[in-house]
Amino acid sequence: MASVSIDTPLNGVEAEEKVNQSYGSCGDDAEEDALAEELGIRPYSSIVAFAMCLNCIIGTGCFGLPYAIKEAGLLLTPILLVLGGVLALISMNFTLEALARADAYYQVKNAGRNAGAPQYRIGYRKFDFSRIAELFSGPHGRTFCQVVIVIYGFGTLWG
C-alpha cells in the first residue's frame, strides 16, 4: 500500500511528526489551531461553510418538495421526511466513523509498533470516499466507490 504524504510548508517528515504528536492533545483547540497554522492548513471560513450548508439545504430538492408533498399526501409526507432524516443521520455517523478509523489507521501505521492504542478521532488528514474505500476494501472497493459516485452524479444531473 502506498504511503501517505501531506503537502505542507514543512517537509514531509517534520509535518508527519507534528501531526502524530498532536494526537496526545485531544480536545485542545488552541494547540490544534496553532498546528494547523504551522502546517499551512486553513479551515473553511464562515462564509464558505454557510454557502456549503445553504447549497445542501436548497439544492434542487426544495423546488420539488411542494409537488412531492402534494403527490404523497399529508399522511405519508411526515413519515417519509422523518425516515429520510433518520437515514441521513445514520449515513452521517457511518461517514464520521470511517473518517476516524482511517485517521487512526494512519496514526498507527506512521507511529510503528510502539504507538499503543490509536485515538479514533478526525484529525487534519483529508480522506475522500474513494480513498477510504481503498483503505478498507482494496482497489476493487475504490473502483466500486468511484462507479457509484459517477452514477450518483449522472442521476443528479438527470433529475
**55-77 per-residue burial string, b: 16 or more CB within 10 A, e: under 16:** eeeeeeeeeeeeeeeeeeeeeee
Of 149, 123, 154, the closest CA to residue 4 belongs to 123
Per-residue confidence (pLDDT) for residue 12, from 0 to 100: 57
Supply the mean pLDDT for the chain: 78
Q: Which amino acid is at 35?
A: L
Report the pLDDT value the prediction gives residue 92, as an integer from 0 to 100.
Answer: 92
Which tens digits make up the pLDDT trace of 41-99? 777 788 888 888 787 777 667 778 888 889 999 899 999 999 999 999 999 999 999 98
What average pLDDT score do residues 114-130 get? 77
* CA pair distance 108, 115, nearest whole angstrom: 6
- Rounded CA gap, 105 and 83, in Å? 33
19-41: average pLDDT: 64
Q: What pLDDT is stored for residue 8 in this prediction?
A: 47
124-139 b/e with 16+ CB inside 10 Å = b? beebeebebbbbeeee
* pLDDT score, position 146: 94
Q: Does the structure show a pLDDT above 50 at 104?
A: yes
When pLDDT is cut at 50, 70 and 90, the band that residue 6 belongs to is very low
Tens digit of pLDDT for each residue in 11-22?
Answer: 555 656 665 555
For residues 134 and 102, the answer to whether their CB atoms sit within 8 Å is no
The reported pTM is 0.58
